[in-house]
């Protein structure tokens, strides 16, 4: 477990060091992509290792992570994650407003099925989960540093990237203390 956590911390540290250099150079879009790469899976994986919890679903990744943070009594970690992944409530709705119609339909179907199965899920949670899923195909697998659709979470807005970076850095420091 400790070896895995050290690897996560090292990898995230490298991504965030790279993001820091990109921010200093004014390349905010590339910095944002590096931060999203850390926030997509690695930072949450580190928290799961600390909590000795196995993630339950990649399709419900955000919902499950926030629930795990709540069970562990560390709401601050949930906030750091939401900032790093650009999934705070306002950012989520801003991003979702730019999602293509097939993404909206996928979210609506997912939300309907989850509620029909008795899951206590709200629209914000279902929306965050579908945005995280879309991130895999558009940012994580595509290593080009070109323009990104607004809904991926990658941004060239300096203030948003700095907030994203601060959230990811705080999350990483929390992992290092554990």
Q: Quick one: pLDDT at residue 152?
A: 84
Average pLDDT, the chain: 90
What percent of the chain clears pLDDT 90, i.e. is strictly above it? 72
pLDDT at 156 over 60: yes
Identify the band that residue 73 occupies on the pLDDT scale cut at 50, 70 and 90: very high
For residues 113-136, give the mean pLDDT. Answer: 91
Q: Quick one: pLDDT at residue 57?
A: 73
For residues 16-27, give the mean pLDDT. Answer: 98
Residue 59 CB coordination number (10 Å): 13
Q: Which residue has the higher pLDDT, 144 or 165?
A: 165
Q: Percentages helix, strand, coil for the chain, rounded to the nearest 5?
A: 75, 0, 25
C-beta of residue 130 within 8 angstroms of C-beta of residue 108: no
Q: Quick one: pLDDT at residue 147?
A: 61
């Amino acid at each position: 477990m400790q070896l895995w956590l050290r690897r996560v911390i090292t990898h995230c540290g490298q991504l965030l060091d790279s993001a820091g250099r990109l921010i200093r150079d004014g390349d905010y879009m590339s910095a944002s992509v590096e931060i999203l790469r850390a926030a997509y899976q690695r930072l949450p994986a580190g928290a799961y290792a600390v909590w000795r919890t196995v993630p339950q679903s990649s399709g419900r990744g955000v919902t499950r992570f926030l629930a795990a943070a709540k069970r562990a009594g560390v709401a601050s970690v949930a906030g750091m994650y939401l900032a790093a992944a650009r999934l705070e409530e306002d950012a989520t709705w801003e991003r979702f407003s730019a999602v293509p119609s097939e993404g909206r339909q996928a979210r609506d179907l997912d939300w309907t099925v989850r509620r029909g199965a008795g899951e206590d899920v709200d629209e914000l949670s279902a929306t965050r989960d579908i945005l995280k899923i879309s991130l895999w195909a558009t940012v994580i697998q595509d290593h080009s540093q070109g323009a990104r659709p607004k809904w991926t979470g990658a941004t060239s807005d300096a203030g948003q990237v700095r907030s994203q970076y601060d959230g990811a850095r705080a999350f990483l420091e929390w992992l290092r203390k554990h």
